[in-house]
Amino acid sequence: MSSELLNAMQISAMGMRAQGERIRVITENVANADTAAGTPDEDPYARQIITFKNELDRNLGVKLVEVDDISQDNKTPFPTKFMPDHPGADENGYVKMPNVNTLIEVMDIREAQRSYEANLGMIEQARSMILRTIDLLR
């Protein structure tokens, strides 16, 4: 029984690591949400997207979640903002802004936080079960 609990703890720990990386990517997006293009020909900061994959851990015999890729969001267009005094403004006074929607990022970070907390709760439950088992064996 204890190996199953240790496997559950390992799976949850990998889930926490993946969600921690997701939170890092989201905070980077939010930090750069107002970083405009420096010149009219330049693109601004592009939103980063993280994807996950299930990877078989042959030692444990279970699938663990891992970060598959961190890539740029090339599907969402860059919005423009009228700022004629900005060095990145085009001939009409518009500057390309990052394709980061802070509302979406806040929702994503809350989801990542809840997933992180759920994995932490699983580790606490497994730890509690191991301690109860030890108490029974005394």
Whether residue 69 contacts residue 50, with contact meaning beta carbons closer than 8 Å, is answered with: yes
This prediction's pTM = 0.84
Q: What is the 3-state secondary structure (H, E, C) of 39-95?
A: CCCCCCCCCEEEEEEEEEECCCCEEEEEEEEEEECCCCCCCEEECCCCCCCCCCCEE
Q: What is the pLDDT along the chain (138 residues), one digit of tens a residue?
A: 567 888 888 899 999 999 999 999 999 999 999 999 889 999 999 999 999 998 887 777 778 899 999 999 999 999 999 999 999 999 999 999 999 999 999 999 999 999 999 999 999 998 998 889 889 988
How many Cβ atoms sit within 10 Å of the Cβ of residue 98? 21
What is the residue extent of each domain of the chain?
Answer: 2-137
In the block, tokens 């926490």 appear at 16
Provide the 3-class DSSP secondary structure of residue 12. Answer: helix
- C-alpha distances (whole Å) from 37 to each of 30, 78, 93, 113, 138 are 16, 10, 13, 31, 66
How many Cβ atoms sit within 10 Å of the Cβ of residue 36? 19
